[in-house]
């Protein structure tokens, strides 16, 4: 079994155990490895434009807002924009701030013909630290030391 198959199988088992409505759930480190091992895979960052501009971006990620800012309204064009940028046959990895919106985006994509959808657990910034009331110290893409840039 190759490393890519090993990672995806583990992610699929996580999803099955948690009864998730899409193919799998990856840690940030696993997601980064999948992107390297599967050149046709796409990372879809569903954070708002404001989050991308203020918090940071992931190089090479496709950016399609799930919710728009201000107001946090659902993006009515999400699926159209996704289809314009990501082939439905691609291995699609969804990421947001902490894994919640990307969960919903992966579910919506799956329901609309994308077969290989994976949510990136912990997201870009991880969970909220209840003591400091900030994100970034309890997991996530940034905390894992993965590539990102400040706009």
pLDDT, one tens digit per residue, over 121-137 is 999 997 756 676 665 66
CB 119 within 8 A of CB 23: no
pLDDT of residue 61: 98
pLDDT, one tens digit per residue, over 6-60 is 999 999 999 999 999 999 999 999 999 999 999 999 999 999 999 999 999 999 9
3-state SS string for the chain: CCHHHHHHHHHHHHHHHCCCCCCEEECHHHHHHHHHHCCCCEEEECCCHHHHHHHCECCCCEECCCEECCCCEECCCHHHHHHHHCCCCCCEEEECCCCHHHHHHHHHHHHCCCCCEEEECCCCCCCCECCCCECCCCCCCCCCCCCCECC
pLDDT of residue 113: 97
**Which is more confidently placed, 138 or 147?**
147
pLDDT of residue 126: 79
Domain extent listing, the chain: 3-120
CATH 3.40.50.620, applies to 3-120: no
pLDDT of residue 131: 72
Q: Considering the entire predicted model, what is its pTM?
A: 0.94
Whether residue 138 is predicted with pLDDT greater than 90 in this model: the reply is no
Specify the residue for token string 């290989």: 116
pLDDT of residue 132: 64
Q: For the chain, what is the largest distance between any 2 Cα atoms, rounded to a whole number of angstroms? A: 47
CA 28 to CA 122: how far, in whole Å? 7
pLDDT of residue 75: 97
Q: Which of 4, 102, 120, 86 minimizes the C-alpha distance to 47?
A: 102
pLDDT, one tens digit per residue, over 69-124 is 889 999 999 999 999 999 999 999 999 999 999 999 999 999 999 999 999 999 99
pLDDT of residue 15: 98
Q: Which two tokens stand for residue 66?
A: 């799930």
């Amino acid at each position: 079994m190759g490393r890519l198959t090993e990672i995806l199988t583990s992610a699929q088992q996580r999803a099955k155990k948690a009864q998730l409505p899409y193919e799998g759930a990856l840690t940030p480190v696993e997601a980064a490895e999948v992107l390297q091992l599967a050149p046709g895979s796409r990372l879809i960052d569903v954070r708002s434009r404001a989050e991308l501009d203020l918090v940071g971006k992931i190089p090479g990620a496709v950016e399609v807002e799930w919710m728009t800012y201000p107001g946090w309204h659902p993006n009515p064009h999400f699926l159209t924009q996704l289809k314009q940028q990501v082939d439905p046959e691609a291995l699609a990895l969804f990421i947001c701030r902490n894994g919640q919106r990307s969960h919903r985006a992966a579910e919506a994509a799956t329901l609309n013909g994308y077969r290989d959808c994976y949510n990136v657990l912990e997201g870009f910034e991880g969970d909220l630290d209840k003591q400091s009331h900030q994100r970034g110290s309890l997991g996530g893409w940034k905390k894992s030391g993965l590539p990102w840039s400040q706009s």
